[in-house]
Amino acid sequence: MMVSKRTLFIVNISLGLLLTLLLLTFFEVKLPTLGQAQYLLDKEEPLCAVSWKEEFTVWDDLDRCCLEARKQLECRREQQGDFDWACSTGAGMKYWLNSKAYNYCRQQPYW
């Protein structure tokens, strides 16, 4: 049974790609995921704020803000000034994040 040159070429390319992936894994090279790439390409500063009764307070501790935002029942896309996401349990306190901060939070193990 003869195998065509085209089939052999495709098989060789596939094996070459597989070899590359195995070598990267062997040398423990970490490739960025889509979320990490999106985070790195976003040039704005991460921004977090807490609102209570129409009063906004900017929160500089992004890790703590992510943890508190994650405790809320939902995070939804909602525009408010420089912020793109609102996390809340209902009426009352809301945690506001811009896209850079939201993408950072989503990469955390507890998210």
For residues 96 and 107, the model is more confident at: 96
Measured between alpha carbons, how far is 5 from 3 in angstroms, rounded to an integer?
Answer: 7
Exposed e or buried b per residue across 1-39, where buried means at least 16 C-beta atoms within 10 angstroms of its C-beta: eeeeeeeeeeeeeeeeeeeeeeeeeeeeeeeeeeeeeeb
- Residue 36: pLDDT band with limits 50, 70, 90: low
92 dihedral zone (left: phi>0; alpha: psi -120 to 50; beta): left
* Stretch among 24-28, 63-67, 84-88 having the lowest mean pLDDT: 24-28
Q: What is the pTM of this model?
A: 0.64
